[in-house]
A and B are shown apart, each in its own frame.
Chain A
Amino acid sequence: MEKRELRLTVNGQEYELYINPKTLLVEVIRDHIGLTGTKRGCETVSCGACTVIIDDIAVKSCSILAVQAEGRQVRTVEGLEANGKLAPLQKSFLDHGSYQCGFCTPGMLMMSEAFLKENPTPTREEIKEGIEGNICRCTGYNSIVRAVEAVAKGDYKGE
């Protein structure tokens, strides 16, 4: 087994890595690069805690080989804020109390971010469907849906 060079761009920053090709994207993000915001909660691609964005689309980083993200733009929760300024979704989550233990929150934020990019004017049903792949054991989801709805409505425009 040969290690492979991997050039990965995460949150706009290019990283040069040398990895076993079986390394999962979530392992590269958390262990090699050290961004621990992205979490893991299962072994069956079920929970969504590992959700990140690759080139504008949300994916579960536990079920992607890191090598497949080569040459692509990966975004994690750490990349949502800009120079200490929170993204609209993050502000909305704070206002709506859309988290409790917070473990699913990075994945939820990234899924919501990608979702709104694709569907900027969703119905409530569509938001629920949009985050269907992310489990939250604490909030019962409704506060998360409200937060996404508020951003979609434009409540955080120009902040």
Chain B
Amino acid sequence: MIHDFTYLKPVTLQEALSMLADHKDECKVICGGQSLLIVMRQGLVVTDYLIDIKGLNELNYITYDEKQGLRMGATTTHRTVEKSNLLKQKYPVLVAVERKLASAQVRNWGTIAGNLAHGDSSGDLAPTLIALNAKIKLSSAKGSRVMPLEEFYTGLFETALNKDELVVEIQVPPARLLTATAYKKFNLIENDQGVAGVAATVEVDQSRACKDARIVLSNAGVTPIRAKSGEKVLIGKKLSDALLTEAAEAVADEADPVSDIHASEEYRRHLIRVLTKRMVKQAWEQAAKLR
């Protein structure tokens, strides 16, 4: 059962931040609540104050410009991302990821910041955004800071968010030519939580050799894992099966997956190998428009 709390509903971001400042040790923030209410019902999260920011429309936006890139407000729902024509053009991987995330009902009410702040390493959005080199903006009554999303995750369901801070915005650098990102998670049922997943961004040069790469793993450790050794294998090389195998091996070594009822550690590593090859290849070919 959910424990009683005092309900606070700020009308503006500033109001929300000052409420956070007042109650920082004894409050929790709810937006869509699609993850939070489950853990509150289980008694895993107990709070004296609940600050509801779902109504903060000023944080509900998706904007893009060629210089700054993509800006998504914290209370933007998954569904808005999924249906965005802008994103379909500029960052199709985000639309693809959202289509396979949970169910339509959850995507209709849940928000991207809520998802990211929850800190579940098996989530799909964080690794994809990290592969897109995203940054996250955190605000408090005292001011704001921006950090690479990669640095936001500090441990199992732990983030760098301070008790008086709110996630307010996700920032993604402008879409570039000859660059593509692909994400796939392995699950038994469509849209199910991934057993393991791989996001890969590949940037190619004019000769279709890999100029830059980012490989990020989901459900392969306590946080999303950036597989830097795997990335290094690809840089400067041309696409080949042997290269993919070598990179996959390096990526699997960097993974730190658990064994649970859904998969053993070895099988997760195996999946990571397979998905790395597939996603790097897919991103590479998309980037080079070899398809």
Contact = CB atoms under 8 A, between A and B. Distances in A.
Interface in B1-42: 2-7, 9, 30, 33-34, 37-38, 40-42
B104 A21 contact: no
Given A20-B4, A21-B50, A132-B191, A63 B104 contact: no
B4 A58 contact: no
A1 interface: yes
Most buried by A among B3, B5, B99, B109: B109
A136 to B, nearest CB: 14
Interface string A44-63: 11001001001001111001
Interface in A1-16: 1-2, 4
A21 B7 contact: yes
A89 interface: no
Contacts of A58: 104-105, 108
B4 A67 contact: no
A141 to B, nearest CB: 12
A1 B106 contact: no
B247 to A, nearest CB: 32
B269 to A, nearest CB: 28
Interface residues of A, number: 30
A133 B38 CA distance: 16
B184 interface: no
A93 interface: no
Interface in A22-36: 22, 24
Given A58-B105, A129-B190, A45 B38 contact: yes
A80 B55 CA distance: 27
Given A24-B37, A132-B190, A68 B54 contact: yes
Contact of B5 (A22, A51, A57, A134): A22
B256 interface: no
Given A57-B109, A111-B104, 13 more contacts: A1-B6, A2-B6, A2-B7, A45-B38, A51-B105, A58-B108, A60-B105, A63-B33, A63-B37, A65-B37, A111-B105, A130-B104, A133-B103
